[in-house]
Amino acid sequence: MKDSNHKHCLFCQRDEQQVPLVQVDFKGATYWICPQHIPVLIHDPSKLEGFLPGAKELQAG
Ligand SMILES: [Zn+2]
C-alpha cells in the first residue's frame, strides 16, 4: 500500500522507521532516498529510471 505522504526510499521503498532518509528534489517533486542508495543516484542514476521519472537524463556523458 502506498501513501504519497509517507516517506520512503524511492529505490528500496524502506521508510524512515527503518533507515535514515535524505530528501531529493527533482523537477519540482520531492523524493526520498536512503544512504544505501545514494551511490546509485550519484554513480548510476539511469538505474533509477522507473523509480524517478526523468532519471535517464541524469546519466553522465
Ligand atoms: Zn533505499
pLDDT digits (tens, 9 = 90+) for 6-60: 899 999 999 999 999 999 999 999 999 999 999 999 999 888 888 888 888 876 6
How many A from CA of 36 to the centre of ligand 1?
Answer: 6
Predicted pLDDT at 24:
95
Report if residue 35 sits inside a domain: yes
Predicted pLDDT at 14:
97
Confidence category of residue 3, pLDDT binned at 50, 70, 90: low
Report if residue 61 sits inside a domain: no
Range of the domain at 49: 1-56
Report if residue 3 sits inside a domain: yes
Predicted pLDDT at 31:
95
How many A from CA of 35 to the centre of ligand 1?
Answer: 7
How many A from CA of 52 to the centre of ligand 1?
Answer: 13
Alpha carbon distance 8, 43 (integer Å): 21
Alpha carbon distance 39, 12 (integer Å): 13
* Count: domains in the chain: 1
Find out whether 24 and 16 touch, Cβ atoms under 8 Å: no
Which class for 23: exposed (0-12), middle (13-18), buried (19 or more C-beta within 10 A)?
Answer: exposed
How many A from CA of 43 to the centre of ligand 1?
Answer: 14
Predicted pLDDT at 4:
56
How many A from CA of 61 to the centre of ligand 1?
Answer: 25
Report if residue 21 sits inside a domain: yes
